[in-house]
Amino acid sequence: MNAYDVWVIELDVPAKQSLMLQAWLLGEDGLGVIRCLDAEKKKQQLWTSVCQRDEALAWLAGLPENFEVLNEWRWREKSRSENGNE
């Protein structure tokens, strides 16, 4: 998978439900991974592929708990020239 194929969905996840969200995602083989961005502010990110974006949002909507989508975007790594390496 290339960096430009990654879709990031930022979520509001209460600390008490953080592990449950990860456990539910484990049951969805290949849908994505969870990354804790800021536990104090309850921000977590669901990283999935661009082609699975709609499936990931539908999966989130179907969970027994409601996790608010705060933001979403296509992840892009800065080019080497932007980082001053070229």
The domains located in the chain, with CATH, are: 3-74 (3.30.70)
Say if residue 23's pLDDT is above 50: yes
For 16-32, b where at least 16 C-beta lie within 10 A, e where not — what string? Answer: ebeeebeebbeeeeebb
For 53-65, b where at least 16 C-beta lie within 10 A, e where not — what string? Answer: beebbebbeeeee
pTM above 0.85, yes or no: no
Residue in the block written with tokens 């430009």: 4
CB 53 within 8 A of CB 7: yes
pLDDT confidence bin for 4, thresholds 50/70/90: low
pLDDT confidence bin for 31, thresholds 50/70/90: very high
Say if residue 86's pLDDT is above 50: no
Lookup: tokens for 35: 């990354």
Which tens digit of pLDDT belongs to each residue from 32-84?
A: 999 987 767 789 999 999 999 999 999 999 999 999 999 999 987 653 344 44
